[in-house]
Amino acid sequence: MVRRSNLDLTFSSVGSSSLPNFAVKSLQTTLLNWYDQQGRDLPWRNTRDPYAIWVSEIMLQQTQVKTVIPYYERWLQAFPTVSDLAQAELDRVLKVWQGLGYYARARNLHKAAQEITRNSNGIFPSNVEQVLALPGIGRTTAGGILSAAFNQPLPILDGNVKRVLARLIALEVPPAKALNLLWQLSETLLEPEHPRDFNQALMDLGATVCTPKNPECDRCPWTFQCQAYHLGQQSNFPMRETSAPIPHKFIGVAVIWNEAQQILIDKRHPEGLLGGLWEFPGGKVEAGETLAECIKREIQEELGIEIAVGDHLITIEHAYTHFRVTLNVYHCQHINGIPQPIECEEIRWVTLEEIESYPFPKANIQIIEALKTFVASQVS
DNA sequence: AAAACGTGGAG
DNA sequence: TCTCCAAGTTT
């Protein structure tokens, strides 16, 4: 005797392939009608250019529409076509992306543009397998691009869709534990004649009505079919994963000046956290070490030079996804030795004016602002 | 397969 | 202040 899991019960209570036809049709029709009336007018919905749509899909990964819009407009100004992007320097690409976060997205966009230019003369592929093979494009993004650009009937499963579907079937486990089920459901529901509008509608529903907090069920076209709604448990779905507490790192950071009033910055390795971005050098404070000792040691280890640690400039609290940092930033003086890129990609002496043209992470932008204020106060 | 990977906004 | 999490992908 086979014991049925909660998953099976949940799914069969709605059915996927066994979902009655009338229910699917009804869901499709009501959603498409709702989209006609209530769908958002977004910049990337006014084009069928797969490149522009691709850019929007990448920017929208883990990022809200409101945040993306100005970046999207600027990006297309800077890189109007695949080959413009392919030919650009990575530094310039990262500069245009600066502030959007998850910088691997920009590096992958750049790399993929070069592949497309090399392999298909700059023409974005319309074949799913080829699209999926590009760096930075997974199943959801591939489905999003190809349904939006070419009206191909490919399902999507982003955060919005996971939430909408989890509520629709009152999914008894966190979405991450039921991805196969959710993909099947997204595929089953997809309206085969209007995949473009249907996918966009599903995302709009999640973003504007079936929101994480306080969903507006009285505006929803699906309440009649929604299990969570009928249980009166909309806000308890989707179920949450338990999250581990994140570490807090205490960092010493050096603004190293030379006699020419230039500042030493370094470029991070191309992979990993903030890969390819520039920063002020520094590192983690060890147990029993003062900030000045930490900074002196880190600079010796990373750049091979001797410095004197001077006045405090600013202290910055910053939260990343999986840890927090306190940046303790100090003015430093170059004493001797020629800086070597021991633990970074590249190093450079720059003036405060030049520094603006380099891509920096958010926390470092605050250091630059503090430096500008400091220099202005020195003059007066 | 769990962990890495940014930032901004909402409550 | 703090938690959650947003049009996810990669390793």
Q: What domains does chain A contain, in order, with CATH numbers?
A: 6-236 (1.10.340.30), 248-379 (3.90.79.10)
pLDDT at position A244 is 79
Nucleotides of C under 7 A from a protein CB: 3-10
User: Is residue A238 within 8 Å of residue A174, measured between CB atoms?
Assistant: yes
Helix (H) or strand (E) holding A73: helix A65-78
In this structure, what token pair is assigned to residue A104? 């691997």
The shares of helix, strand and coil residues in chain A, as percent rounded to the nearest 5, are 50, 15, 35
Total residues belonging to chain A: 380
Please tell me whether any atom of strand C lies within 7 Å of the Cβ of A63.
yes
Please tell me whether any atom of strand B lies within 7 Å of the Cβ of A35.
no
Gap from A229 CA to B2 C1', Å? 32
Q: Is A356 a catalytic residue?
A: no
Helices (H) and strands (E) in chain A, counts: 15, 7
Please tell me whether any atom of strand B lies within 7 Å of the Cβ of A39.
no
Distance CA A295, CA A349 (A): 18
- Residue ranges for the known binding site of A for Mg(2+) are 282, 302
Segments in chain A below pLDDT 50: 1-17
Alpha helix (H) residue ranges in A133-245: 139-150, 159-168, 179-189, 195-204, 227-231
A251-295 pLDDT tens trace = 999 999 999 999 999 999 999 999 999 999 999 999 999 999 999
pLDDT at position A116 is 98
pLDDT at position A18 is 53
pLDDT at position A6 is 32
Q: Which residue shows structure tokens 């996918």?
A: A199
User: Is residue A238 within 8 Å of residue A171, measured between CB atoms?
Assistant: yes
Gap from A309 CA to C9 C1', Å? 41
Distance CA A293, CA A51 (A): 50
